[in-house]
Amino acid sequence: MSEIQEKHYGQIKSFIERNQWSLKEKLESGCKRIDIQNGKSSSCVKVYETGTIQVQGAESRLKEALNQAKAAIENEEGIGDMLPFEIERFPELLKERITNIDPVIVRFIQEAIITVKAGSNLGCAFLLGGASEKAIYLLIDAYTKAIKDETLRNKFISRTSGKFISRIFEEFKQSFRSSKNKPQNYGWTNDLEIKIEQIFQFCRICRNEAGHPHLPPNLDKGILLANMGQFVKYVEDLYELIAYYENNEVEL
């Protein structure tokens, strides 16, 4: 294997592995080949001794992503800075999976992707926190409106009005735990912390670090991307809970 072939092959293979696609490696005359599978889509990449990269297969988002990686390698750009394929698709996935999603959430995620691609970790953290906070406010608004007893509803409003989002969430969590008609069939009784709170708190803390100059902005891109990777599921869980409270009263 020539030096340039080894370099380009290692880069394209690393890109495939970072996206956690299924791959099979083969040796062919004059080239090394990788067959890639992602769901129903398949493609193959051939890297020749000259360093030439060839992407083959039916047109798909998988092939499109591989072609983008190929272009970055051939132009000697930083392929390590390319985002995982699924993160690039987050705005589209959110609109596909949550037909009534608030456009503010989608816009913040679109901007977060732009900023992290540009190397602005602080900008990404701030925007991700904004998207998360908007979704949390929508959940708490739906929960508030669903409280059956007017007196208890007004008391909940008084405890949450004018407070920081961290305090509002704590009030919601306590009220949720004491409510008599949690959405049992969704597995929410014991999973609020796992499904929502962990991502919410991460996004909130990162947003605070990015937005307050007296705090040390020590945000690692890898940690940001790992949490972004869970964001679509996080928003789906929030909207599942919102839908429950839009159709059920809260009994305290």
**Tell me: the pLDDT tens digits for 130-148?**
999 999 999 999 999 999 9
**pLDDT score for 190:** 58
Residue 82: its pLDDT value, please? Answer: 56
Contact call for residues 136 and 169 (beta carbons, < 8 A)? yes
Q: For 190-248, what is each residue's pLDDT tens digit?
A: 577 777 888 899 889 888 877 766 655 567 777 787 778 788 889 998 999 999 999 99
Q: Which homologous superfamily does the CATH classification assign to the domain defined by 3-82?
A: TATA-Binding Protein (3.30.310.10)
Nearest C-alpha neighbor of 228 from the set 72, 50, 90: 90
Angle (CA) 176 183 149, round 5°: 50
Please give the pLDDT value at position 217: 57
User: Mean pLDDT across the stretch 38-46?
Assistant: 92
Q: What is the mean pLDDT of residues 147-157?
A: 95
Within 13 A of 97's CA, how many CA atoms are on the CB side? 17
| pLDDT grade for 116, boundaries at 50, 70 and 90 | confident
Looking at residue 119, what is its pLDDT?
Answer: 81
- Per-residue buried b or exposed e for 36-53, using 16+ beta carbons within 10 Å of the residue's own CB: bebeebbbbbbbbeebeb
pTM comes to 0.70
* Residue, of 21 and 217, whose pLDDT is higher: 21
- Of residues 118, 88, 151, 133, the one with CA closest to residue 221: 118
On the CB side of 186, CA atoms within 13 Å amount to: 18
